[in-house]
């Protein structure tokens, strides 16, 4: 069962795994929908369920557009509308989440040397931004990850909005991710929602930066699978399991 705690700024943090009394443990920060749905709503919660065990806690945070009263299926339109209106929606969320993770570390609930992040679709986009902000985080996992906002239908018809959102595209983070030792993304071979090609270009950029900076410890992988679901944007349950077990292996290997 998921549990909730609040940091010093009253940011809600939900988690699965060992009770807090067990102290500092490896942690995985998982993003998909709301903090609760990410851990409880099938099938979006499958990676979290596979990750959490007696040695790992999985923490989740409320992604913008998933607050109570908002339709989770319209979250990307909410992002577009907020950005168009000049509200720094994601920047504020990244700062709050980084601060909340720092608080978890200060409270002795997260081992800062054994942290990973991951997410599904927009959650993979969020997780990558968070990973770029945490120099000690070493594992990053994405399922059907959004990498370029302009590829979304909600952004595609507004050129001014595309320019505004372009600074958030993951390809700009490549230089800030060389500390992440293990990166693995899964995507369908014809994902027309977030774009298979855009995902490949991001992974290619990571590989180029790794090579240029001689980041020998870093391993970057893109797993291209058969597209399923609406717009080819689904993820097979077996892929959720495979990816979660991979991430768990990295966390526990680094913690050994």
Q: List pLDDT tens digits, range 58-89.
A: 999 999 999 999 999 999 999 999 999 999 89
**Residue 256 clears pLDDT 70, i.e. is over it:** no
- Entry pTM: 0.96
Task: Write down the pLDDT at residue 1.
Answer: 82
* Most distant CA atoms of the chain, gap in Å: 51
Rounded distance between C-alpha atoms, residue 155 and residue 149, angstroms? 7
DSSP for 104-115 reads: HHHTT-EEEEEE
**Angstrom distance (rounded) from CA 130 to CA 251:** 17
DSSP string, 14-75: EEESS-GGG--EEEEEEESSSHHHHHHSTTTTHHHHHH-BTTBEEEE---TT-STTS-GGGH
At residue 253 the predicted structure's pLDDT band, cuts being 50, 70 and 90, is confident
Phi, psi at 35, each rounded to 5°: -60, -35
- Give the pLDDT of residue 25: 97
User: Which CATH class, in words, describes the domain spanning 3-255?
Assistant: alpha beta
Top pLDDT among 2 and 35 is at 35
Taking phi over 0 as left and psi of -120 to 50 as alpha, with beta for the rest, 229 belongs to left
**Sheet of strand 12-16: strand arrangement:** 3-6, 12-16, 57-60, 25-31, 110-120, 139-143, 182-188, 219-225
Q: Is the pLDDT of residue 181 over 80?
A: yes
159 by DSSP, 3-state: which?
helix
- Residue 240 CB-density burial (10 A; 0-12 exposed, 13-18 middle, 19+ buried): buried
Q: Classify 118 as helix, strand or coil.
A: strand
pLDDT of residue 254: 57
More confident residue, 87 or 253: 87
Confidence label for 211 from pLDDT (cuts 50, 70 and 90):
very high
Whether the predicted pLDDT of 255 surpasses 80: no
pLDDT digits (tens, 9 = 90+) for 45-54: 999 999 999 9
d(CA 6, CA 4): 7
- Mean pLDDT over each residue of the chain, to the nearest integer: 96
Q: 238 — phi, psi (to 5°)? A: -65, -30
pLDDT in tens, 131-167: 999 999 999 999 999 999 999 999 988 999 999 999 9
Q: Using only the alpha carbons of the chain, give its radius of gyration.
A: 17
Rounded Cα distance between 51 and 48, Å, is 5
DSSP-based three-state secondary structure for 170: helix
The answer, yes or no, to whether residue 36 has pLDDT greater than 60, is: yes
Q: Over 90: is that where the pLDDT of 44 sits?
A: yes
Residue 43, preceding bond cis, omega within 30 degrees? Answer: yes
What percent of the chain shows pLDDT beyond 70?
99
- Looking at residues 231-254, what average pLDDT do you find? 95
pLDDT score at 99: 97
């Amino acid at each position: 069962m998921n549990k909730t705690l609040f940091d010093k700024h009253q940011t809600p943090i939900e988690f699965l795994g060992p009770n807090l009394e067990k102290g500092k443990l490896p942690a995985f920060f998982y993003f998909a929908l709301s903090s609760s749905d990410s851990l409880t709503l099938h099938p979006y919660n499958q990676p979290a369920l596979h990750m959490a065990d007696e040695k790992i806690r999985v923490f989740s945070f409320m992604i913008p557009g998933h607050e109570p009263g908002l339709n989770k299926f319209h979250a990307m339109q909410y992002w577009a509308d907020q950005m168009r209106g000049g509200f720094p929606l994601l920047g504020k969320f990244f700062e709050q989440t980084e601060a909340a993770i720092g608080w978890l570390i200060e409270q002795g609930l997260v081992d800062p040397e054994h942290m990973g992040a991951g997410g599904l679709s927009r959650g993979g986009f969020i997780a990558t931004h968070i990973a770029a902000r945490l120099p000690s985080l070493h594992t990053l996992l994405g399922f059907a990850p959004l990498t370029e906002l302009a590829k979304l239908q909600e952004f595609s018809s507004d050129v001014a909005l595309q320019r505004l959102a372009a600074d958030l595209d993951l390809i700009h983070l490549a230089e800030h991710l060389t500390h992440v030792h293990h990166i693995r993304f899964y995507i369908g071979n014809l994902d027309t929602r977030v774009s298979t090609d855009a995902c490949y270009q991001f992974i290619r950029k990571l590989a180029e930066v790794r090579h240029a900076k001689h980041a020998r410890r870093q391993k970057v992988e893109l797993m291209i699978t058969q597209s399923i679901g609406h717009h080819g944007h689904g993820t097979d349950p077996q892929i959720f399991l495979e990816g979660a077990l991979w991430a768990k292996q990295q966390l526990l290997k680094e913690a050994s």
